[in-house]
Chains A and B, each alone.
Chain A
Amino acid sequence: MAEQILLKNIDVPGLASFEVYRKLGGYSSVEKVLKDFTPDQVTSEVTKSGLRGRGGAGFPAGMKWGFIDKKTNNPRYFVCNFDESEPGTFKDRHIGQLNPHQLIEGMILGSYALGARNSYIYIRGELFYVLRIVEKAIEEAYKNGFLGENIKGSGYSLDLYCQPGAGAYICGEETALLESLEGKRGNPRIKPPFPAVVGLYGCPTVVNNVETIAALPWIINNGGEAYASIGIGNSKGTKLISACGHINKPGIYEIELGLPVEEFIYSDEYCGGIRYGHELKAVVAGGSSVPILPASLILKTATGEPRLMSYESLSEGGFVSGTMLGSGGFIVMDETTCIVKNLLTFAKFYHHESCGQCSPCREGTGWMEKILHRIESGHGTMKDIDLLVDISKHIEGNTICPLGDAAAWPVASAIRHFREEFEDHVKLQKCPF
C-alpha cells in the first residue's frame, strides 16, 4: 500500500474533533513552523516537495506561491478552493467531512508562508453540511490557540472563515471563485493579471485546492525531499483518486503517483475490477473535462507501454491517444455504456454551467448538447458528427477560462475514439443500447 499522507487516519473515530486529531500528532507542523521557519522557508519546502495543484491543473504549488507579490503594502490572501464540482470528483468532500483539521492545519501553514492575515475556505453551496463540520473544527482551532491573535505566542495572527458557493461549477475556476467570494456572479476574469498580483479585493492572492492544502502538514513534518521521493518523474507524492462508475469498489483511494492503471482498475486493493465480470469499455481518467480513452489506450499507451497513474504517463500521446490526470475523478464505463448518451450528459452539464461571458462557449455548448440529443434520440445525420467536431474546435482556445476547453475535449475525444458508435446511432436511427 502506498504511503498514506491524506487518508492515514481517515477511519479513526472522531477524527473530525480537535482532541482526536491533536492526539494523532495534529497541528505539530504549525508549532514547528512558528518556532523554526521563516515564511519563505515554508515556501521553499513546498517547492522542494514538487507538490502540484490537485484541483486539476497540476501547477507546481511552490511556484504558484512564489509569484505572490510581497512588496505591496496591500493585504495578501490565501484561499482554499473547496468548490469541488468536476463530474466524477468527490475527494475533497471526504477530507472536509472526515478530516477537517488537516485542511485547517494546511491553511495555517499556507497563510503563514504567504503572510495572509485573513484566509477563506470557499465550499460549494450544496455541501453546506460539510461547511458546518469545517466551521465547527475552525471554532475548535480558535479555542485551542491555533487560530486568532498571536498564535501560540509567535506574533503571527490569522483569522479563517468558510464561505459557501451557491451552485456554479464555474466558481471552481480560481478567478470566478474570487469574484464569487466578493459577492458577485462567478464570471472568470481575464488573466493576466494573475491572482498572485491582483486577486481577492484586488490584493495578492493564492488559491489552492483542498487536497493540495491538506498535504502541507506532512510536507512540513517530513520535509519536502521526503515528499519528492514518493511518486515518479514530475509526479511527486500521492494523489487521491475518486473512482466511480461500473467498478466493483467505487470510492476514494490514495495512490502513489506512478501506479499502473491496470492495477488500479483490477486490483482488489483499489477498484476491484469491472462489475458483473463485464468488459472494460472506456475511462474518463481525470474528471469529466479530460479526453475519454477506450480500454486499449487507458491500459497501455499507443506505443504499448503500460499506462501509469501520473501526470506524464496519462498525457502521453497528447490528445491523439492520451488524456490527463486532472482532478483524479476516475469514471469507469463497462461494455453496456452508450458513449453518446454519457457524452450528452456532459454536454448538458457544460451548457448549464457556462457563465455566458464568451460566445463560443455560451452558444457552442448549447449547440453541442442539442446535436448530441438529436443523435442519441435517433434523429441525427452523419453531417452532425462532423459538425460536433467543428464546433468543439471553434470553442477550444477561444474563451476567457478553461470551461470552453473542458466542454470541447470530451466531445472531440469521444468522436475520435468511438466514431463508429455515433455512426451506428445515425444508421439505426436510434440508440443501439
Chain B
Amino acid sequence: MPEKLDITEFNRETLDLVNKIIKRYPEGRQKSALLPVLHIAQAENQGWLSSETMEYVASLLEIQPIEVFEVASFYSMFNLQPVGNCVIEVCQTGPCMLKGSEEILAHFENRLGIKSGETTTDGKFTIKTVECLAACGNAPVIQVGTEYHENLTTQKADDLLEKWQAENKNSHTNPYL
C-alpha cells in the first residue's frame, strides 16, 4: 500500500484555482464547487479521499463534512480507500466486451498478479473495472488518470505497462493542469 499521505491543506497555487472555481457560481452556492474540488483533492492525496481530506474540503466550501461524504460516496470516480500510484481503469460494458475487453482485463490481471479492485504489493498499480467510457468506436478502452488509451490489444497493454513501470507512473495529477 502506498504511504498514507493526508493533505492537510492545498498550496497557494491550488487554493487560487479553487477560489477561481468557487467564483463560477452565484453567491452562497459555493457547494457547486464540490465535484471539481474533490477531483483536485483526490489527485493531491495520492488518488483517494480520506476522512481528513473530505473534512478539509468541507471547511473550504463552508459545508458540513457529511455533505462531502454523501457526494464522494455516490460518484464512482472518487476512491474512498487508498489506491496504487497508477490506477488502470478497464471498461467492461457491452461495446468494449464485444471487442475483447475481457481479454484485456485478464491480461492486466495476469501481468500484475492481482485481480480487479486490488493493488500490487509494491503500491504501484491498481486495476479497477469501470462502466462505459464513451469511446466505443475505439473499443476496447482503458483510462489512466485523464488519459484514454483506445483500440487496446494485449501487445499495446504490454507496451504501456513497460512504459509505466519505467517512468514510475503516477496517474494522480491535478486534472485541471
Contact = CB atoms under 8 A, between A and B. Distances in A.
Interface residues of A, number: 60
Contacts of B18: none
Given A90-B135, A167-B75, A251-B137, A125 B98 contact: no
A345 interface: yes
Nearest to B71: A185
Contacts of B98: 244-246, 331, 333, 337, 342
Contacts of B34: 183
Interface string B113-146: 0000000000000000011111111110001001
Interface footprint category on B: 35 or more
Interface stretch (B7-15, B80-88, B89-97, B155-163): B89-97
B39 interface: yes
Given A128-B175, A180-B35, A345 B137 contact: no
B78 A90 contact: no
B167 interface: no
A209 B92 CA distance: 25
B131 A329 contact: no
B5 interface: no
Contacts of B133: 126
Contacts of B70: 185
B32 A89 contact: no
A403 to B, nearest CB: 13
A173 interface: no
Contacts of A184: 31, 71
A88 B35 contact: no
A169 B77 CA distance: 12
Interface string A14-51: 00000000000000000000000000000000000000
Given A128-B39, A129-B147, A345-B97, A186 B74 contact: yes
Contacts of B138: 250
A183 B75 CA distance: 11
A148 interface: no
Contacts of A182: 29, 31-32
Nearest to B139: A244
B151 to A, nearest CB: 9
Interface stretch (A52-60, A101-109, A158-166): A158-166
Interface string B15-29: 000000000101001
Interface in B19-57: 24, 26, 29, 31-36, 38-39
Given A164-B39, A166-B78, A185-B74, A126 B93 contact: no
Nearest to B68: A183
A245 B76 contact: no
Contact of B134 (A85, A132, A161, A331): A85
Interface in A142-169: 159, 161, 163-169
Nearest to A331: B95
A169 B131 contact: yes
A429 interface: no
Contacts of B78: 166-167
Given A87-B132, A331-B98, A352-B76, 5 more contacts: A85-B132, A88-B132, A166-B78, A167-B77, A329-B136
26 contacts: A85-B134, A87-B131, A87-B132, A89-B134, A90-B136, A93-B134, A120-B24, A126-B77, A126-B130, A126-B143, A132-B175, A166-B76, A167-B75, A242-B137, A244-B95, A245-B95, A250-B138, A288-B94, A331-B94, A331-B98, A337-B98, A342-B98, A348-B93, A348-B131, A349-B93, A349-B131
The 9 closest A-B pairs by CB, nearest first: A166-B75, A167-B77, A183-B34, A167-B76, A183-B31, A244-B136, A250-B137, A128-B175, A185-B74
